[in-house]
Each structure stands twice: as structure tokens, then as C-alpha cells.
A and B are shown apart, each in its own frame.
Chain A
């Protein structure tokens, strides 16, 4: 079983609408949780990083939340744009520093006009 589970697997929304992507993880001990955006044919780009003690972090129209007790995170996208179409990957860091990150499989978001 994957240590980082994301849902939904894919999502289609109309331009201008909001959406929320979910991430459940079992990785322990837990240092921080990251959300990455990966456009087709490109490498992942960091959106947010939250440490164990942080509950929410925003980056423009992206807002990530974290509940370390239930080991759940969400990424909320507000007023979606066509350029938001990408895979969104939840990544959990087992320990602080540069130790291996555990990646989810991602949610494929398609924003249509």
C-alpha cells in the first residue's frame, strides 16, 4: 500500500470554479508535507511546504491545509485557470533535511473553458 494516497485520481472542472484535492499519508515519523505541480513533460514545481506544526499555507490561488493528527492534507485551488491543468503531487518528507521524499501518484486536474 502506498504511503501517500491522493484523491481523486483525476478531475475535470470548468474555468473559474474552485476545487479541492486530498492527500492521506501514513509516513511516520513525519517532518513536512509538500504539494508540487507537474505540467505535462516537465519536472515538478514546488507550490507549498508545511512543517508538522503548520495548519495552512497559501501561495496565490493555492491554499494547502494540514491535519497532522489525522495525517490528511488538502490543496484548494480558487478561481481555476486553464493553466492550472496539471498533475498535483503530494509529497511527505520522512525526516528533516534531504532524506528521501515519499511521493503520491498525483491528481490529474483538467480545467476546461
Chain B
């Protein structure tokens, strides 16, 4: 596709359930980022990949959060044993090798009940 695609758009999970959020970056984009955006707040950095290598995961809030990008394109953000405080919009962004602009997907809105 022409842009960054995220799925699902909405996810409702029961507390304690595991969830997996998918990001399809723009074709050929080397770098991929995950952000968490709480209601009324700006996005906060979670983790960053360059190709398949996870170069920075300093923003992941706990060891329940895990991200992977095994083939350097599609990425999955997994949250284990979800808690209510995990409720947020999870944004994915990608950037090309030469560019500095991050292109964002529409996000996945996660609601943990």
C-alpha cells in the first residue's frame, strides 16, 4: 500500500489477555517505530527497528511488552497479560533510509476492560 497500515484498528481485550498489534510499513522503509499515545497526550516512544534489528527498546514500559520485525518489513507489537493502564492508541511509523520524516499509520486503539 501507499501508506503505513496498522491492524486491527480497534481491539478490546479482557484484563490478563494477550494481544498482538500489526504494522505494515511503507514498502522499502528501513526504520520502523512504535509509539503509545494515551488520551489527550502526545505519542510516547516505545521501540525502534532498523531493518530486522531492534536498536532501541528503552521506551517499552515493562517486560510484558515485546516487539519484533523478523524479516525487516512487517512488525508486531505484543502485549502479554494486558492491564487497564495499557489502554491507549498504539501508533506505528516508518521512515526511508534517506528521509527524516516519519510516516504514521492510523493506529490501533486498545481498550482493556
Query: B93 contacts A43, CB within 8 Å?
Result: yes
B101 contacts across to A, CB distance below 8 A: 46, 49
Of B44, B45, B103, B106, the contact of A41 (CB 8 Å cutoff): B106
Query: B43 contacts A32, CB within 8 Å?
Result: no
Query: B48 contacts A44, CB within 8 Å?
Result: no
Of A42, A45, A91, A100, the contact of B59 (CB 8 Å cutoff): A100
Q: Which residue of A lies closest to B95 (CB)?
A: A98
Cα of A45 to Cα of B44 in the assembled complex, Å: 16
Is A25 an interface position by the 8 A CB rule?
Answer: no
Interface residues of B, CB < 8 Å — how many? 26
Cα of A57 to Cα of B106 in the assembled complex, Å: 26
- The contact string, 1 if C-beta is below 8 Å from chain B, for chain A 65-95, is 0000000000000000000000001010000
Q: Which residue of B lies closest to A39 (CB)?
A: B106
Is A53 an interface position by the 8 A CB rule?
Answer: no
Separation in Å of the B14 CB from the closest CB of chain A?
24
Of A42, A44, A97, the contact of B43 (CB 8 Å cutoff): A44
| Residue contacts A-B, CB under 8 angstroms, 24 given | A4-B42, A32-B100, A41-B106, A42-B106, A42-B107, A43-B91, A43-B93, A43-B104, A43-B106, A44-B43, A45-B104, A46-B101, A46-B103, A49-B100, A91-B42, A97-B100, A98-B31, A98-B33, A99-B48, A100-B56, A100-B59, A101-B102, A103-B35, A106-B41
Report A's interface with B, CB cutoff 8 A.
4, 32, 41-46, 49, 89, 91, 97-106
Report B's interface with A, CB cutoff 8 A.
4, 31, 33, 35, 40-45, 48, 50, 56, 58-59, 91, 93, 95, 100-107
